[in-house]
Structure formats: C-alpha cells, structure tokens
Structure 1
C-alpha cells in the first residue's frame, strides 16, 4: 500500500455487466498493474439500478422501496477503491482505468478514510 489517500473510481455505464471479452482482459491487466504499483484496495461490479432497494429508517418504521433513488440513463456499474498519494496521481490512475474498461470514470476522494 502507498498509504496516501483513498479514492473511489466509479465506472459509468448504461448497462451492468456489459464488458466485452477484450475489455475484461484489459480490466484484468489493469487490476494486476494496480496491485503491482500498490494502488489496489478493492474493486467490483455493481448490479443495475433496477435491482436496488431504497431503505429509509429515519422514522419509527423502516420504509423500503424497490428501485433506484432516481431514474438515469447512466449509472455506476462498477468501482475501484484505490490508494494514491494525492489527487493528481489518482487522476492518472482514473485515466488508465477509463482506457482499460472503455467507459467514463467518476473520480472522488473518500472522506475520513486513510490507509
């Protein structure tokens, strides 16, 4: 681990699980590179929003609602959490992630978490 800051790299897509075989190979190679360079924390795919459940337990009773918080054409379909020494380094990793998965990446720092 680099012991810098943690960042979330959200993969933006319109279909969950839509990676082609060649994109999957590129993602695997990218993951190996993250591990070799000490950036790797965790990564994974995320089911489509239609499989989500909203839970609001702020009141006396918990209320559950099927479906996403909002309807959108694009959504987060996967993620990486990386360790990077600073935001510029994380941005370079996000550029490589976008190239590997052939998708747009949303880069956000994780607040209150440090390696």
Structure 2
C-alpha cells in the first residue's frame, strides 16, 4: 500500500540555521532518501516552494475564488513529501520516524486511497 509522508515544519527555520547545520540537514535528507530507495519503498518525493508562492482555489456559490497564499494559518507549513510503498501502517510509521524532519517538525502519515478506475 502507498503512504504519503507529509513533512511539516516552521518555514523560516531553515533560514535561521547556520550554513554548517544546513549542510548537515541536506546530507541527512539525502541519506534518508537513499535508504528508502535501497529498501525498495521509495515511490517519489519533492520539496515544496514557500507558502508565499501558494495559490488557493475554492468554489463559492458556483463561482471560482482564487486567493494568494495558503488558506490555513498554522505554526508549521507543509514543506515537502515522500510517497512510499509499505506493507502496512506500522512500516510506514517506522519510515516516518526515521525521517530527519521528525526531529524538527511533524510527519503526517496518510494512506493513499487507491483508485481502481
């Protein structure tokens, strides 16, 4: 089954880190991605651009409304994701716990609803 690991963290945290800490962070994510690939569970992953680039669309009374920025205001923002293939939720949670983002943010694990269409 596929699981989406959504990585949430305070968006400005990266900019406040020293260059050395940023380099360690990049290395940690690189190693984590390689471990997922070596285990055969990696399906895909991406880092997202900042929330200032977000556009929100919603339908109100049958008319499309387009808003700049994210709709939800929170302390942590979605910064990226990993899509993995795992045999069960426990395995997916194990991979989420190993993600570097779990040490400075939140990893939301959600099963992907497979569509047989």
TM (norm. structure 1) is 0.81
Range with greater deviation from structure 2 (25-34 or 102-111): 102-111
Q: Establish whether residue 69 from structure 1 lines up as the match of residue 71 from structure 2.
A: yes
**SS of equivalent residue, structure 1 residue 20:** helix
CA-atom RMSD, angstroms? Answer: 2.2
Give the number of equivalent residue pairs: 108
Mark the runs of 5 or more structure 1 residues left unpaired by the alignment.
none
Deviation at 1:16, TM superposition (A): 6.2
Q: Establish whether residue 14 from structure 1 lines up as the match of residue 10 from structure 2.
A: yes
Mark the runs of 5 or more structure 2 residues left unpaired by the alignment.
15-20
For 1:34, the equivalent position in structure 2 comes to: 36
Runs of 4+ in 1 over 6 A off after TM superposition: none
Matches of 1:66 and 1:59, distance apart in 2: 20
8 Å contact kept, 1:8–1:108: yes
Matches of 2:93 and 2:62, distance apart in 1: 43
Cα distance, 1:49–1:88 mapped onto 2, change above 3 Å? same
Deviation at 1:71, TM superposition (A): 1.3
Matches of 2:30 and 2:76, distance apart in 1: 23
Matches of 1:38 and 1:58, distance apart in 2: 43
Deviation at 1:112, TM superposition (A): 2.1
Range with greater deviation from structure 2 (100-109 or 30-39): 100-109
TM (norm. structure 2) is 0.80
